[in-house]
Amino acid sequence: MTLRQVVEAHGVRLRPFRAEDTADVVDGCADPLTQRFVSNLPTPYTRTDARWWIDVGVPAAWTGGGAAYAVADPATDRLLGAVGLNNPVPARGQAEIGYWLRPAARGRGLAAAATRALSEHAFATGTARLELLTDPENGPSQRVALAAAFRHEGSRRSAGSGRAGSRHDLLAWVRLADDPPGPVARLLPDLPGGVLTDQVVSLRRLAPDDADLMYRLHSRPEVVANQAPPVPPTREAIGRRCRLAESGWLTGEIARLLITDVASGEPVGSCGLSYTDVAAGEASVGYALLPDWRGRGYATRAVQLLADWAFGPVGIARLTAGTVPDNTASHRVLERVGFRREALQRGRLPGLAGARLDDLTFALLAADRRR
């Protein structure tokens, strides 16, 4: 692999670092978001650290078989960020790709452009496989991976090292030399305009700030009783669920949504959509409401909105919902939307102390929907 010193493609310039980049390197690497997700950076990050990177770190990256490029604006040549290759495995034709941007350069697609530019140049010079590893809580970086044609491959357990010796999982995104160049199509697309609404209720993606509300909802005894197994969640688990909501959406695992009353803006509850069989186009739905909002048709409206999105932009062919047999309130919600009782699966779900629970399954096809 013999890489050029300057690469221009997709509206960015990849060039060598220079001494005059020092202040911009500090601007990017001292930023709290960069510090959070690039945990091997010195903290605080100073001009001395930036000069070491330019004078020592960059040459070492090239000597070790990788690459370290400054990402620059083609019009002004000012540094916008960095992109590089590391951990090369020549026998496999493999390397890892990574990047960061200065705060002022974010939100314009520049990270994806730089990643595409370097990826294509690496493939043209003999690389067969590129890996891009992201923190599960770093949704913007995962969007860069998808936009740059990297596909989600799985999770690397405890592959990431944090500060103070902590360890965490990393998500692996991979692009091969013969993969299509365009953005990767997602199993769970973004909501149109970021929200689904019928002007009475609205649904939007769950966010980290929703953790206290979700803990209050999902730790209620009647909500826990309808889960399998019926064990109350911890506050820590709910907080992590909310922090990973965007990642679950981007990897195609699950779409978690907050239900809100449009008139008051008050939260009503939560719902979700997750694939049960991707090849068959089948997904399942779930939902729960806070007590003050029950019995007012809000669950029915939320499930109707979710079904419309599933059969429309998502492209699902069949929706299912599993319930415990005595949850009659939930059964009525599903039937109002058009779900039909389909099967009672005895002892399918885990209960407490080794017990098993029956699962009453409802199913909905696009033509079954009611208004």
Task: Report the chain (371 residues): mean pLDDT per 10 consecutive residues.
Answer: 90 98 98 94 97 98 97 98 96 97 97 98 97 97 98 96 88 97 95 97 98 96 91 96 98 98 97 97 97 96 98 97 93 97 93 92 94 69
d(CA 10, CA 116): 8
Fold entry, domain 7-176: Aminopeptidase (3.40.630)
pLDDT at 39 (0 to 100): 87
How far apart are the C-alpha atoms of 6 and 118, rounded to whole Å? 10
CATH 3.40.630.30, applies to 192-368: yes
How many helices (H) does the chain have, and how many strands (E)?
12, 16
218 backbone dihedrals φ, ψ, rounded to 5°? -85, -5
Q: Are strands 94-101 and 129-134 parallel, antiparallel or unpaired?
A: parallel
Q: d(Cα 339, Cα 368) in Å, to the nearest integer? A: 7
Separation CA 41–CA 155 (nearest Å): 23
What's the DSSP call for residue 90? G
Sign of CA dihedral 3, 76, 100, 133: negative
**Predicted model pTM:** 0.93
224 membership: H or E segment, kind and range: helix 221-225
> DSSP 3-state assignment of 246?
helix
Which regions of the chain carry the CATH code 3.40.630.30?
A: 7-176, 192-368
SS3 content of the chain, % helix, strand, coil (to 5): 35, 30, 30
pLDDT for res 228: 87
Residue 166 has what pLDDT?
87
Q: Which residues contact 5 (CB under 8 A, 6 or more apart)?
A: 15, 16
